[in-house]
Structure 1
């Protein structure tokens, strides 16, 4: 895949995406979290990249949302879905669902949504999702006890790029390698030409070292698991909770899928790893680590043990030196050490034994380490007791080497185990995050009594396939347009339970009339919402819905007051562009007459309706000038009406579902009619006759 061919991906973003292990597959997968692991690409940007890849895959150049109001409806619909997510990932992932005119994309998204709505959102699962986040790459770990060595300049550059954790050294011959072996605990030589050399130290010739990073630098894999420990544990908990919910739920339902990773093996591996990526739980490594750390303290304490014993021995014994002996010792330049050797030899041996015993016990030294430890204090008497610094240094070096060898072996073993889990745990986390996306859709569908709509291909419909008569006198939808039964908009500023259901079907160009506050605008909102959600591939808030796949949705909200000349001209220009190519478009317009004087508005709307009708467009225009528009039009304009039942205690009672072929009465007409009925008299009767 050519990354720059993805809509919205420029050279800079493509360069960042190429840093991923498999850029094409990652982008194609739509995995927002995986895409966001590219340097400098956040989740919002990753969602746009994924959306662009989807468009490219479906050859989808459509831009369904053609007006600001249509885009507002999309944002509202998307917001309702996002409100039902738990993770930030799911919020961004939902942004990859967009209103499309591509039949294959809509079908793909609908299949995903249909599977999602089968879920029963369990509160325990939602709680478990709280801790799940996308996996992150840890900061580069610097490993200082190991290096790579090569005599090739190109190999040197590749090594620096592929294994930044290790120092890379240049060598010319075995002498250089031997020198490195004295500075590093381990040397990995990349050049095969050095195979078979005899060099003292931990030196390995591995030409494949750059292609097997888990063996070369196991710290990388350990750091990844340490960095993501909480995320992995949270994902494991989600899958276990799903499994528990499945076991206690409907026995006839589909069983929860097996987790992608062996959770017991994962937890066992994590138990051997500290939060900073070091090995834990191995007694021998802990002993060696403690011995290196505590060596100086243990030696000092051992010195004190010996000194305390000698001091007590001297206090408790009388040492007699005859004059001739004293003179002889002085003449020989003897020191106190000589007196100790002569008078307290046994006590000195005991003190040395106690010092050595303390050192061995304090450091928990192994039998093979004891001999060197015992040489820390030699047998030549002295007071205070003195350590042999060179022997202490050698002991430290041997203990550290043992520690490093043990740690390296354990790291390699754990990295091998984790290497087998690396792919599965990425899938484990991805499955948990995707579950949140699916549960958000399921919750949306349940909260708003949704159904998966039928989205038809307008080009593939047989014109003779007219069905039974459906809602509002229109057919069942097979002749085009849209049909909604029992639709309720969750975007209204009332509790969803209080929203009255609406039935409406349109298969051409319609005027929608009705009383003020009767629900005309909310009906347009419902139509726009159902179409937008349907072409996103999402369930829609209705008992049943069917619609054509529209190329564009043009929704014009009610203008706030009469427009000045410039704005009026611009508005007419927009409608001029609209009617130039209205095929495959849905046009929704709310009270266009408010842009200018009523008389002129009626003529303008009539002209727009004529143009749309000539092109077999699907359109609904809300207007209070239905009579005037019909009179101005040169064809029989279809009019639907939201019928008012009457006034009850000063409140309007309305049948919210538009009635086909019905010019709805206005609110003033209803009030005059009520007064005529209540009060009688010629005045109210004459007024009523004028409507």
Structure 2
């Protein structure tokens, strides 16, 4: 894939993407977390790159959202979706769903959304999702208990590149090999010239070692799984809770991970635990064994009456003999028993095997001495034996576990990706359920909403009055203050944005055309100065100049200048828009004046207040077609005329008649 062909991706970003294994897959699937693993690419940048790749795939050059208010509503809708996601991955992944005019892109997301809304947001699955995170790269590993050996400069360079985790040494002969074997638990010779060389220690001749790095340095695989163990196990829990089809045997994966410690060590290996304990406890056990021997011997001396004749005493003195000779002569059996007790204690305390026990027995001398002391050289040899055995056992266990996990690496990655994608689906499902959404139908013209409930309103869904509204061509929307005109525009805008993202919409039924552009002009705060007024008029002039399939929503444009001039300007704009393939809704309190100023028939819909109760308007929130809604002042005057019966109110009421 040519990364620079993606919109917004330059040479530097393309180079960073090229460093990421699986970048093409991530771009196809919108895997934002994987793309964010590229050097210097944030998750936000990764989402933009993914959107660019999607646009390229669908040859989508559309730009649906053309105004600040339209973009603001899109951000609000996206935030509502993201709030229903558990993982940070899903929140970013949802950013790759954008409003589009491309039929193929919309259909692609619709297929996803239709699957998603069938998902049941199971609480157990959502709880498990809290522990799922995108997989991290393997941690840097440095292994010091084994090394690679070669006598060839080219092999040396290749080894350092292929297996940077191990030290690589250069040796010329058996002597150099033997010296390394004394310093490392395992020496791996890469050259066949070392075949047949016999030296003490674990020396392996493996010319093929560079082709099988897992065998040589299993820590590489174990480090990856250790760094991602909790996330993978959480993904396993998600699959089980959601009854998803897994890419591998979940029990086998779970069992393998249960044998892996947080730092990449192998757990639940009794022999390794025995050797580790023996190494850790060696010094303490030796000193305790000495105490056992000396306590035994001291007791024997205290309980024994020893008689030495004068001639014997003189003989011992002449030979310079001391207590050792006395022990050898008078307490030989007791000394042997004491030393044997020390040996047995050391062997039992460290749980030594037969070979290790033979070395341990020599730690206490045969020749009598008091106090009994261990032979440090022998204890040193025992320590070396135990450490070497421990490291060999650990390496073997690591290789066995790494072999099992290597086969599970890709399935584990797929498992985590599937769990994260499930979170995206569940976010859409929750949004659809909480706002009673349905999938929209695309038709040739206009927008028809049945039972629409705006997700942008602050009220709970159950208290929102459903709105029915249909618009085709150019329409004026009239109505009382606080009657819901702006909310209706927001609803139409939200429905169009969600539909053209390919997502479900908050209504019982929606039919709409696929718009090429969406222009939503929010209410202007206060009258504009001359320069701003000129700019606004130019903007609408450009809007009316051409372009097919656009949706234009405008909220009280009359506030840009004085009412009389506003009515004439809006009438002219609506006339021009009516001559194009545009669907437009203009909210205005000047509907009567605008219609009168227009040179053509303008459709007027109305959000009608049906009366006043306790000083509050009672409003039918669904606009009535071809109906000019009465204003709030007219309703108040009508109420006063009915209740007071005074002529002045009747005269005022007459002024509202067309």
TM-score, normalised to structure 2, is: 0.93
Query: Following superposition, which runs of at least 4 residues in structure 1 exceed 6 angstroms of deviation?
Result: none
- Correspondences of 1:181-260 after superposition (within 5 Å): 181-190=181-190, 194=193, 196=195, 198=197, 200=199, 201-206=201-206, 208-243=208-243, 257-260=244-247
Instruction: Provide the secondary structure at the position in 2 that maps to 1:423.
Output: helix
- Correspondences of 1:151-170 after superposition (within 5 Å): 156=156, 159-170=159-170
**Contact 1:174–1:194 (Cα < 8 Å) also in 2:** no
Mapped to 2, the partners of 1:631 and 1:170 lie a distance apart of 97
1:187 CA displacement: 2.8
Match of 2:579 among 604, 614, 620: 614
Look up the match of 1:322: 309
Mapped to 1, the partners of 2:314 and 2:44 lie a distance apart of 94
- In the alignment, is residue 637 of structure 1 matched against residue 602 of structure 2? yes
Match of 1:566 among 510, 513, 531: 531
Look up the match of 1:504: 469
- Correspondences of 1:418-497 after superposition (within 5 Å): 418-455=405-442, 477-478=443-444, 480-497=445-462
1:537 CA displacement: 0.9
Mapped to 2, the partners of 1:41 and 1:644 lie a distance apart of 54
Residue 161 to residue 59, structure 1, CA distance change in 2 (3 Å): farther
Mapped to 2, the partners of 1:655 and 1:162 lie a distance apart of 74
Look up the match of 1:91: 91
1:208 CA displacement: 4.8
Look up the match of 2:64: 64
Look up the match of 2:500: 535
1:267 CA displacement: 2.4
**Contact 1:140–1:164 (Cα < 8 Å) also in 2:** no
- Correspondences of 1:541-560 after superposition (within 5 Å): 541-560=506-525
Look up the match of 1:248: none
Mapped to 2, the partners of 1:663 and 1:272 lie a distance apart of 75
1:383 CA displacement: 1.4
1:90 CA displacement: 2.0
Instruction: Provide the secondary structure at the position in 2 that maps to 1:60.
Output: coil
Mapped to 1, the partners of 2:581 and 2:369 lie a distance apart of 112
Where does the alignment leave 5 or more consecutive residues of structure 2 unmatched?
none
Look up the match of 1:343: 330
Residue 407 to residue 496, structure 1, CA distance change in 2 (3 Å): same
Mapped to 2, the partners of 1:389 and 1:448 lie a distance apart of 78
Residue 659 to residue 209, structure 1, CA distance change in 2 (3 Å): farther
- In the alignment, is residue 299 of structure 1 matched against residue 286 of structure 2? yes
Residue 218 to residue 672, structure 1, CA distance change in 2 (3 Å): same
1:177 CA displacement: 4.5
**Contact 1:174–1:197 (Cα < 8 Å) also in 2:** no
**RMSD (Å), alpha carbons:** 2.5
Instruction: Provide the secondary structure at the position in 2 that maps to 1:427.
Output: helix
Instruction: Provide the secondary structure at the position in 1 that maps to 2:248.
Output: coil
Instruction: Provide the secondary structure at the position in 2 that maps to 1:609.
Output: helix
- In the alignment, is residue 408 of structure 1 matched against residue 395 of structure 2? yes
Residue 164 to residue 49, structure 1, CA distance change in 2 (3 Å): farther
Which deviates more, 379-388 or 536-545? 379-388
**Contact 2:90–2:423 (Cα < 8 Å) also in 1:** yes
Residue 599 to residue 45, structure 1, CA distance change in 2 (3 Å): same
| Residue correspondences, number | 655
Instruction: Provide the secondary structure at the position in 2 that maps to 1:662.
Output: coil
Look up the match of 1:582: 547
Residue 502 to residue 151, structure 1, CA distance change in 2 (3 Å): farther
1:175 CA displacement: 5.5
1:67 CA displacement: 1.5
1:105 CA displacement: 1.1
Look up the match of 1:271: 258
Where does the alignment leave 5 or more consecutive residues of structure 1 unmatched?
244-256, 456-476
Instruction: Provide the secondary structure at the position in 2 that maps to 1:203.
Output: strand
Look up the match of 2:141: 141
Residue 678 to residue 118, structure 1, CA distance change in 2 (3 Å): same
Instruction: Provide the secondary structure at the position in 2 that maps to 1:599.
Output: helix
User: What do residues 518-562 of structure 1 show as CA deviations (whole Å, max 9, x unaligned)?
Assistant: 211111000000001011111001111122222221111101111
- In the alignment, is residue 354 of structure 1 matched against residue 341 of structure 2? yes
Mapped to 2, the partners of 1:183 and 1:239 lie a distance apart of 47
- In the alignment, is residue 655 of structure 1 matched against residue 620 of structure 2? yes
Mapped to 1, the partners of 2:298 and 2:519 lie a distance apart of 101
**Contact 2:192–2:206 (Cα < 8 Å) also in 1:** no
